[in-house]
Structure 1
Amino acid sequence: MAIPSDYDGVKLGDKMTQEFVDDIIERFKEGKKLPLKYVYQIILAVKDICYNEPTMVETHVDQGKKITVCGDTHGQYFDLMEIFRINGRPSADHAYLFNGDFVDRGSWSCEIALLLYAYKWLHPTSMFLNRGNHETDDMNRMYGFEGECKAKYNDRTFKLFSESFSALPLATLIGDKYFVLHGGLFSDDNITLDDVRKLNRHNQKQPGQSGLMMEMLWTDPQTAPGRGPSKRGVGLQFGPDVTKRFCEKNGLEAIIRSHEVRMEGYEEEHDSKCITIFSAPNYCDSTGNKGAFINIEDDYKLKFQKFDAVKHPDIKPMAYASSPMMGMM
């Protein structure tokens, strides 16, 4: 596939380069697209990298380094740029973990997905991507990502992204202390980290209506003890006692999850053993919430940082969605 003759950007060979990443950051800010050849190349390279990662990636923070945990970014590209502006861009010494829901809602989902993938290809051992409930086909059809891929690129682009989403890990364990996953905990107290390690996510492309994958992507905390029905109609809700037992059984300090708006960008619940992080400020241009992220250095202390939404071009959220009135799933 030839590169269009009017393409004025950095060329991409068989390896990702910092120069290419820096260039596409600026191209995307200016509303420019990538040649299809590069789009396919980036998605396929990252699909292969992620496919070969375990279902739960395990990482540590070495001395003098840090990892930043981000929650949902939901296609809000200019707010992602604000994170990188105030906190630094991904590098070999500054790892990032994006905890799912990169796409849908916001109208720059292609740009976020391609940039995060480019960074994953450039820094495969210090850029971590967990799957969220919106890295799934049914969500993408309703909430905009499929339509955006077709509008900006083509149908094959969405199909390749769909295949790559199925390859993404479902969780990341940081320093044997923090279990990071998009949704939350399980319907069965007997589930352990070993069960997550053993889960073959490649046998099941989409999460379905039951099972470990669905629960990892969809569940939410509640204030009452025990478990309750989900307000979403999918998954369940889990109480502080469930979180405490899981952390004690698995030797964890806390679970870190995303999946829900928090007005201050984050919330510590369940005696600080369940932490929600959400990185899409003023979600859908209407919620008025702050965004937040967590920095973790080699002392493994959680350092929260909040930030405000920034201006973006006048393209409304859900511009590519099948129905702009869909609820906040």
Structure 2
Amino acid sequence: MIYYYDLLNIFELNGLPSEDNPYLFNGDFVDRGSFSVEVILTLFAFKCMSPSVRSKLSEIFVELFAEVFCCLPLAHVINEKVFVVHGGLFSVDGVKLSDIRAIDRFCEPPEEGLMCEVLWSDPQPQPGRGPSKRGVGLSFGGDVTKKFLQENNLDLVVRSHEVKDEGFEIEHDGKLITVFSAPNYCDQMGNKGAFIRFEAPDMKPNIVTFAAVPHPDVKPMAYANNFLRLFS
């Protein structure tokens, strides 16, 4: 999750994206802020650079965005050590990276299965697995994280998906980090934002936190009614 003016602030703090300064954005590019279009178009513009209206979106733009989102990766592995995923881990043991690569990504996410879980699951403090507070995906404990990392020869899980007061939270004996890059979520939570820098070769996570920056007085979800009307 990130807002446009906070995205610009991250670039001020950490430099613009480039071949020498790559970024990995971990989902929730849109949906909660009234500058979501600016966020996703900025990210798309940087991606392309390296290799009087009443509504922000026309129907064709909505369809194009939906099509592009169905092509975005489900997960990343950085330097064969860090597993980056938006939501979390799985309802069964033994899931390998090859299983994730084998998922047919080019579709809307289903309501169950590996794709659903990787997008919607959340960590829990107790071991084992439990029902999801969201009604989709699941909650998973530190033992699940440890086993997944061991079976795939990885060191760390990085995920997002949940607002955190300090912009991040380290759980599961240091094997899982939640990072959330939208400070003052929905203009009311008062939380910090954060991003993580990884320095090769040891890939030790350096967590940078930041506060919200001012933005024009447009409330979160201000354009939602116009957007939803396109689907009616």
TM-score, normalised to structure 2, is 0.94
Superposition map of 1:165-184 within 5 A: 165-184=69-88
Say whether the 8 Å CA contact 1:150–1:157 is kept in structure 2: no
Identify unmatched segments of 5+ residues in structure 1. 1-71, 125-148, 324-329
Instruction: Give the distance between the partners of 1:170 and 1:254, measured in 2 at CA.
Output: 17
Deviations 1:101-147 (A, max 9, x none): 000110000000000001111114xxxxxxxxxxxxxxxxxxxxxxx
Instruction: Give the distance between the partners of 1:306 and 1:247, measured in 2 at CA.
Output: 26
Instruction: Give the distance between the partners of 1:111 and 1:298, measured in 2 at CA.
Output: 31
Question: Which residue of the other structure, out of 86, 89, 102, is the alignment partner of 1:198?
Answer: 102
Whether 2:8 is the aligned partner of 1:81: answer yes
Superposition map of 1:63-142 within 5 A: 72-73=1-2, 76-124=3-51
Deviations 1:17-63 (A, max 9, x none): xxxxxxxxxxxxxxxxxxxxxxxxxxxxxxxxxxxxxxxxxxxxxxx
Deviations 1:174-230 (A, max 9, x none): 00100101000000102111111222212xx11121011110100000001100001
Identify unmatched segments of 5+ residues in structure 2. 227-232
Whether 2:88 is the aligned partner of 1:161: answer no
Whether 2:190 is the aligned partner of 1:288: answer yes
Say whether the 8 Å CA contact 1:105–1:321 is kept in structure 2: no
Shift of 1:153: 3.2
Aligned match of 2:163: 261
Instruction: Give the distance between the partners of 2:104 and 2:56, measured in 1 at CA.
Output: 33
TM-score, normalised to structure 1, is 0.66
Aligned match of 1:310: 213
Aligned residues: 224
Shift of 1:321: 2.3
Instruction: Give the distance between the partners of 1:122 and 1:150, measured in 2 at CA.
Output: 30
The amino acid across from 2:30 in the alignment is: V
Say whether the 8 Å CA contact 2:170–2:177 is kept in structure 1: yes
Instruction: Give the distance between the partners of 1:99 and 1:249, measured in 2 at CA.
Output: 23
Say whether the 8 Å CA contact 2:145–2:172 is kept in structure 1: yes
Say whether the 8 Å CA contact 1:150–1:158 is kept in structure 2: no
Instruction: Give the distance between the partners of 1:170 and 1:231, measured in 2 at CA.
Output: 21
Superposition map of 1:202-213 within 5 A: 202=106, 205-213=107-115
Aligned match of 1:298: 200
Instruction: Give the distance between the partners of 2:205 and 2:79, measured in 1 at CA.
Output: 12
- Structure 2 vs 1, CA of residues 292 and 262 (structure 1 numbering), >3 Å: closer, same or farther? same
Percent identity of equivalent pairs: 57
- Secondary structure of the residue that 1:85 maps to in structure 2? helix
Say whether the 8 Å CA contact 2:121–2:137 is kept in structure 1: yes
- Secondary structure of the residue that 1:111 maps to in structure 2? helix
Question: Which residue of the other structure, out of 289, 304, 320, is the alignment partner of 2:223?
Answer: 320
The amino acid across from 1:282 in the alignment is: N
Shift of 1:320: 1.8
Instruction: Give the distance between the partners of 1:266 and 1:153, measured in 2 at CA.
Output: 32
Say whether the 8 Å CA contact 1:254–1:273 is kept in structure 2: yes
Superposition map of 1:10-49 within 5 A: none
Aligned match of 2:93: 189
* Structure richer in helix, relative to its length: 1
The amino acid across from 2:11 in the alignment is: F
Aligned match of 1:44: none
- Secondary structure of the residue that 2:22 maps to in structure 1? strand
CA RMSD of superposed structures (Å): 1.5
